[in-house]
């Protein structure tokens, strides 16, 4: 049995989903994979709680799940600090799991957390896109130099390991990657083109049912999709910066234009498109015939079409969601820990 010590930064939807999964699946992970995953630190906006004498028990983790948001520092469950260096130096984890919010201006707090972990030879697994979008080469380069794993599968297409598919096409020449990478705008556009909603009503509904980001521009203006296509481009070795992605959102679609498309059996999808040969990426509302494979990807589903010299691959599934994302994080943790530590 191999012990895997982890610190979880971010105890919101995905962080809590991960702890729930660890509680549900610990026996299975031990039996099937020979790993005992031990949580030694957990942090939210109030600070980190950590233990140096032993990992948190099942009972303590269950109690943590009952805490309100921002409740860790006052929980009395261990030492408390805001200083990531202290957490890492005192707990000596194998992996830092970054599930903090994405800040596309600074990358913080995740960027500092990840850099401090990698500098110490600690592996990183992240669902947080921002540090990677801003500093892809620095983070992946540092991980390589320190010979530690750096997993970011959950940053794109949270519920489906699309990053791994792209990494496994080494002998193909990838020509184009295009897809629906933002579930919220796909939900809205499905309502508009297939259920006859007005754009405003569809946006309002997405807000009401809780699928819209707290900052709606991240979805509606294509920022989230642009971040994802930047990560895909860099994964394929293209040095494309977030600011280089041409970006048009969905808010300027007019009712006249929508009706004309409906009459012509067409629809619009917010597509992220990477032209590998031209080294160009964009996010834009693009017209499709309603019979197109991508047009038929509806509501909260995501899809990616990969065109190579030998194949056209279409992958479709639930893009995000806290539990789907947490499952992806846990799968990657199991795989990387087995390869690195066992």
Ligand X SMILES: NC(=O)c1ccc[n+]([C@@H]2O[C@H](COP(=O)([O-])OP(=O)(O)OC[C@H]3O[C@@H](n4cnc5c(N)ncnc54)[C@H](OP(=O)(O)O)[C@@H]3O)[C@@H](O)[C@H]2O)c1
Write out the residues near ligand X by the rule CB under 6 A. 9-15, 43-46, 69-70, 99-102, 109, 127-129, 154, 158, 320-322, 325
CB of 98 to ligand X, least distance (A): 8
Q: Which residue is nearest to ligand X (CB)?
A: 12
Cβ proximity of 100 and 9 under 8 Å: yes
CA-to-CA dists, residue 162 to 78, 223, 232, angstroms: 37, 19, 9
Q: Which is nearer to ligand X, 9 or 174 (CB)?
A: 9
Task: Give the length of the chain.
Answer: 342
CB of 307 to ligand X, least distance (A): 25
CB of 2 to ligand X, least distance (A): 26
CB of 272 to ligand X, least distance (A): 15
Exposure class string for 190-203: b at 16+ Cβ within 10 A, else e: bbbbeeebebeebb
CB of 265 to ligand X, least distance (A): 33
User: Beta partners for 4?
Assistant: 37
Number of neighbouring beta carbons within 10 Å of residue 241: 13
Q: Which is nearer to ligand X, 83 or 287 (CB)?
A: 83
Q: Which is nearer to ligand X, 227 or 297 (CB)?
A: 227
Q: Which is nearer to ligand X, 107 or 149 (CB)?
A: 107
Cβ neighbours for 204, distance < 8 A, ≥ 6 positions apart? none
Q: Which is nearer to ligand X, 101 or 216 (CB)?
A: 101
Please identify which residue in the block is written with the tokens 């943590």.
64
Q: Which is nearer to ligand X, 160 or 295 (CB)?
A: 160
Angle between helices 110-119 and 129-145 (to 10 degrees): 10
Number of neighbouring beta carbons within 10 Å of residue 282: 20
Q: Which is nearer to ligand X, 54 or 69 (CB)?
A: 69
Please identify which residue in the block is written with the tokens 């959950």.
154
- DSSP code for 324: H
Q: Which is nearer to ligand X, 100 or 185 (CB)?
A: 100
CA distance 181 to 157: 6
CB of 47 to ligand X, least distance (A): 8
Q: Is the peptide bond preceding residue 109 cis, with omega within 30 degrees of 0?
A: yes
How many CA atoms, within 13 angstroms, populate the side-chain half-sphere of residue 54? 5
**Left if phi > 0, otherwise alpha if psi is -120 to 50, otherwise beta: which for 210?**
left
CB of 290 to ligand X, least distance (A): 28
Cβ neighbours for 66, distance < 8 A, ≥ 6 positions apart? none
CB of 113 to ligand X, least distance (A): 7
CA distance 130 to 109: 10
Q: Which is nearer to ligand X, 297 or 329 (CB)?
A: 329
CB of 258 to ligand X, least distance (A): 28
């Amino acid at each position: 049995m191999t012990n895997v010590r982890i610190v979880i930064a971010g105890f919101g939807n995905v962080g809590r989903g991960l702890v729930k999964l660890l509680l549900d699946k610990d026996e299975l992970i031990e039996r099937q994979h020979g790993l005992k995953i031990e949580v030694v630190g957990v942090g939210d906006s109030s600070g980190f709680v950590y233990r140096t004498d032993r990992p948190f028990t099942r009972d303590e983790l269950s109690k943590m799940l009952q805490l309100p948001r921002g409740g860790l520092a006052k929980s009395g469950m261990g030492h408390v600090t805001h200083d990531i260096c202290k957490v890492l130096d005192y707990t000596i984890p194998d992996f830092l799991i970054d599930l903090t919010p994405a800040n596309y201006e600074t990358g913080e707090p995740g960027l500092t957390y990840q850099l401090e972990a990698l500098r110490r030879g600690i592996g990183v697994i992240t669902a947080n896109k921002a540090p990677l979008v801003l500093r892809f080469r620095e983070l992946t380069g540092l991980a390589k130099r320190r010979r530690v794993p750096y997993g970011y599968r959950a940053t794109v297409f949270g519920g489906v390991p699309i990053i791994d598919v792209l990494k496994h096409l080494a002998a193909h020449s990838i020509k184009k990657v295009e897809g629906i990478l933002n579930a919220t705008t796909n939900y809205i556009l499905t309502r508009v083109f297939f259920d006859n909603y007005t754009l405003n009503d569809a946006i309002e509904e997405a807000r009401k049912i809780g699928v819209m980001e707290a900052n709606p521009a991240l979805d509606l203006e294509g920022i989230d999709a642009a971040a994802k296509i930047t990560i895909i481009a860099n994964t394929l070795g293209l040095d494309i910066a977030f600011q280089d992605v041409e970006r048009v959102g969905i808010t300027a679609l007019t009712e006249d234009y929508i009706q004309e498309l409906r009459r012509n059996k067409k629809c619009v999808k917010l597509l992220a498109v990477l032209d590998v040969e031209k080294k160009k990426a964009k996010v834009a509302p693009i017209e499709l015939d309603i019979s197109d494979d991508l047009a038929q990807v509806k509501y909260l589903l995501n899809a990616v079409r990969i065109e190579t010299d030998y194949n056209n691959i279409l992958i479709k599934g639930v893009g995000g969601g806290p539990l789907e994302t947490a499952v992806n994080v846990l799968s990657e943790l199991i795989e990387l820990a087995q390869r690195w530590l066992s």
